[in-house]
Amino acid sequence: MNSPRPTDTPDGPAFEGRLIDRPEDDVVDQGAAFDIRTLLTRRSVFGALGIVAGAAVLAACTPRGSTVPATSAAASPSVAPSAPAATADAALPAGEIPEETAGPYPGDGSNGPDALERAGVVRSDLRSDIGGGESVAGVALTFTLRLTDMAQADRPLTGAAVYAWQCDAEGRYSMYTSGVEDRSWLRGVQVTDADGQVTFTSIVPGCYPGRWPHIHFEVYPDEASITDAGTAIATSQLAFPASVADAAYAQDGYGDSARNLSRLSLDSDMVFGDDGGALQLATVTGSAGAGYAASLVVRIDTTT
């Protein structure tokens, strides 16, 4: 079958209103970023025609890190409250989510173990091993990521796969740290819904020497792409407000986290230090006793 032909414009060849990234290649060979932009534009047309339900433009407050005062009670084993929903008129973050290192413990096949090849990795509750088992201990947390596509006026990035992973309360990473190499907790994938949103159930991560408390995540074009780490279109980290970490680390099970945190700041952290984590600092509600709910808007420019 013949490849679709681009249209000449004053800015260069284009297809369905989008400039061709590589004019020397056919339209069908432009790559994942161009394909995603094409898919999202078609979905918006379908929505206008009433064939597919339209989705509101995602938004969320700029990072505030506000919390409800913590209690001294032990962490509840129940699921933390749902993350606060974004409102349509709330301001978007000032820029694209920063590209960060996946670190030495990604579990995506790029550095040894590969959780993304395992059956059951697509799940919302990360507290047990992939496939089930006993949950890890820690202060209850739900965290929600809302993805928008900057190349499409910040429309929700739907159908993308988000892989999230983190350390436990003691600062250990499953599949890597000595003694838990055979475990796979605190790793999992969700696919963004019509609002570009995924929500995971987890625990507040511990703080190990040299790093501010954080959660890693990678964004893939779709679920089928997760078995190849090279197809990720964004890799970044979510940061926690100091008040949340302080309250969580006062609970049992967090070892030296409080002492490690006292020696750090967002400005001195090797990852968040460039801008104090301004675009990665989650908005958090809840308490150490009842559990926390964190949310972060993740803006991605799919043209890059």
Per-residue pLDDT tens digits for 182-235? 999 999 999 999 999 999 999 999 999 999 999 999 999 999 999 999 999 999
The secondary structure of 247-298 as a DSSP string is: HHHTSTT-TTHHHHHHT--TTTSTTGGGTTTTTTBPEEEEETTTEEEEEEEE
The answer on pLDDT for 265 being more than 70 is yes
- At residue 170, the pLDDT reads 98
Q: What is the mean pLDDT of residues 296-304?
A: 96
Evaluate if residue 53 carries a pLDDT over 50: no
CA dihedral of 163, 166, 168, 174, whole degrees rounded to 10:
70
Q: What is the pLDDT of residues 166-184, one digit of tens each?
A: 999 999 999 999 999 999 9
Residue 136's pLDDT is 98
Average pLDDT over residues 231-258: 98
pLDDT at 304: 85
